[in-house]
Amino acid sequence: MPADTPPFRFAVLVHSDFVADEVRRETRALGWDIDVFVTTYDTARRDAERCIRNGYDILICHGGFRYDVQRDHPQKTVFIERTDFDLLRALLRARAYTSEVILTAHRDEARDFDFMEKITQMRIHAIRYAHHEELERQLERCYARGLHMAVGGGGTARYMRRLGGQTILDAPQPSSIQQAITRAVNLMEARQRERTYTENLRQLMRFSREGIVCARLDGDVIYANDEALRLLGVEGQDDLRPLLPDLLTEELTAEGKPRVDDVLTLRRRRLLVSAFPFHLTEGRGVVIFLRDVQSIRSLSRKIDTLARRSFTSRHEASAILGQSPAMREARRRIARYAGMHAPVCISGETGSGKELVAHALHAAGPRADRPFVALNCAALPESLLESELFGYEEGAFTGARRQGKSGLFELAHGGTLFLDEICSIPPAMQMRLLRVLESGELLRVGGDRLVSVDVRLVSAANHARLAARVQDGSFRLDLYYRVMGLFIPLPPLRERKEDIPLLVAPVLAEHGRTPACLSPAMLAALDDYDWPGNVRELRSVMDIYAQLLENDAPDEDAFREAFHERVGLLPYPGRPLAVAPLRPEAPAESPSLRERLRRCRDEAVRDALRRCGGNRREAARALDVGYATLRRFLAEMKAPADDAPPAGGDA
Distance separating the N- and C-terminal Cα atoms of the chain: 98
Is the pLDDT confidence value at 584 over 60? no
Predicted confidence at residue 303, as pLDDT, reads 54
Closest CA to 82 of 5, 155, 160, 166: 155
Q: Within this chain, do residues 352 and 456 fall inside the same structural domain, yes or no?
A: yes
**Sign of the four-CA dihedral 470, 475, 477, 482:** negative
Judge whether residue 150 has pLDDT over 90. Answer: yes
pLDDT band at 579 (very low <50, low <70, confident <90, very high): very low
Alpha helix ranges (H) inside 272-419: 293-309, 325-337, 354-364, 382-390, 408-411
Closest CA to 33 of 59, 8, 61: 8
Q: Environment class of residue 514 by beta-carbon count within 10 Å: exposed (0-12), middle (13-18) or buried (19+)?
A: exposed
pLDDT at 314: 55
Last residue of a domain, one of 226, 261, 295: 295
Residue 162 and residue 117 in contact, taking contact as beta carbons nearer than 8 Å = no
Q: Kindly state whether residues 433 and 446 are assigned to the same domain.
A: yes
- Residue 511 sits in a domain whose CATH number is 1.10.8.60
Residues 501 and 377 in one domain: no
If asked whether residues 330 and 399 sit together in one domain, one would say yes
- 513 within domain boundaries: yes
CATH of the domain at 441: 3.40.50.300
Q: CA 173 to CA 179: how far, in whole Å? A: 10
Coil, helix or strand for 295? helix
Q: What is the pLDDT of residue 315?
A: 54
Summarised one tens digit per residue, pLDDT across range 27-43 is 888 778 889 999 988 89
**Cα–Cα distance, 289 to 232 (Å, whole number):** 12
Residue 251 has pLDDT above 60, yes or no: yes
Give the chain's radius of gyration (CA, Å): 47
The structural domain count of the chain equals: 5
Least confidently predicted of 241-250, 263-272, 274-283, 513-522? 274-283
Residue 183 lies in a domain: no
State the CB neighbour count (10 A cutoff) for residue 417: 27
Please give the pLDDT value at position 626: 81
Q: Give the confidence band of 587 by pLDDT, cuts at 50, 70, 90.
A: very low
- What digits encode the pLDDT tens for the residues 365-391? 898 888 888 888 888 777 778 888 888
Predicted confidence at residue 394, as pLDDT, reads 66
| Sheet of 269-279, strands arranged across | 221-224, 211-216, 284-292, 269-279, 259-266
- pLDDT of 344 > 90? The answer is yes
Position 2 pLDDT exceeds 60: no
| Statement to judge: residues 544 and 597 lie in one domain | no
Specify the pTM: 0.44
354 phi and psi angles, rounded to 5 deg: -65, -45
Which among 183, 286, 242 has a CA at the least distance from the CA of 234? Answer: 242
**Is 219 among the domain residues?**
yes
Per-residue confidence (pLDDT) for residue 100, from 0 to 100:
93
- pLDDT number for residue 649: 41
pLDDT value at position 249?
A: 78
Cβ(232)–Cβ(243) under 8 Å?
yes
Residue 580 — pLDDT band, cuts 50, 70, 90? very low
**CATH classification at residue 108:** 3.40.50.10660
Q: What is the CATH number of the domain that holds 222?
A: 3.30.450.20
C-alpha closest to that of 289 among 266, 268, 262, 265: 262
Both 471 and 345 in one domain: the answer is: yes
Q: What integer is the mean pLDDT of 317-345?
A: 86
Distance between CA atoms of residues 41 and 130, nearest Å: 12
334 and 423 belong to one structural domain = yes
Tell me what pLDDT residue 317 has.
Answer: 54
Range among 55-59, 550-554, 637-641 with highest mean pLDDT value:
55-59
305 in a structural domain: no
Say whether both 501 and 481 belong to one domain. no
Query: How far, in Å, CA of 246 to CA of 262, rounded?
Result: 12
- Chain mean pLDDT for the chain: 81
Residue 23 to residue 283: CA distance in whole angstroms: 38
Residue 337 neighbours by CB under 8 Å, 6+ apart: 344, 361, 486, 488
332/468 same-domain check = yes
Final residue in a domain of this structure, among 508, 535, 567: 567
User: Final residue of a domain: which of 433, 462, 489?
Assistant: 489
Average pLDDT over residues 168-188: 87
Q: Which of 450-459, 543-552, 582-591 has the lowest mean pLDDT?
A: 582-591
Percentage with pLDDT > 90 across the chain? 14
* CB of 212 closer than 8 Å to CB of 205: yes
Local structure of 195: helix, strand or coil: helix
The pLDDT score that the predictor gives to residue 651 is: 33
Checking if the pLDDT of 643 tops 50, the result is no
pLDDT (0 to 100) of residue 591: 57
- According to the model, what pLDDT value does residue 62 have? 87
pLDDT score, position 395: 55
Residue of 257 and 397 predicted with greater confidence = 257
- What pLDDT score was predicted for residue 257? 84
Least confident among 102-116, 163-177, 618-632:
618-632
Residues spanned by the domain of 633: 589-651
CA distances from 554 to 225, 520, 546, 559, 628 (A): 62, 10, 10, 8, 38
Give 101: exposed, middle or buried? Use CB within 10 Å, 0-12, 13-18, 19+.
buried
> Using an 8 Å Cβ cutoff, are 491 and 352 in contact?
yes
How far apart CA 506 and CA 535 sit, in angstroms, is 12
Residue type at 121 in one-letter notation: Q
Asked whether residue 58 is domain-assigned, the answer is: no
pLDDT at 47: 93
pLDDT for the residue numbered 567: 56
Is 68 among the domain residues? no
Q: For residue 59, what pLDDT is reported? A: 92
Same domain, 399 and 521: no
Residues 476 and 600 both lie in one domain? no
pLDDT given for residue 48 in this prediction: 93
Question: Do residues 341 and 437 both lie within one domain?
Answer: yes
10 Å CB burial of residue 99 (0-12, 13-18, 19+) is exposed
Q: What's the DSSP call for residue 352?
A: S
Which has the closest alpha carbon to 416: 350, 474, 351, 337? 337
Taking CA 114 as the corner, what is the angle to CA 110 and CA 118, rounded to the nearest 5 degrees?
130
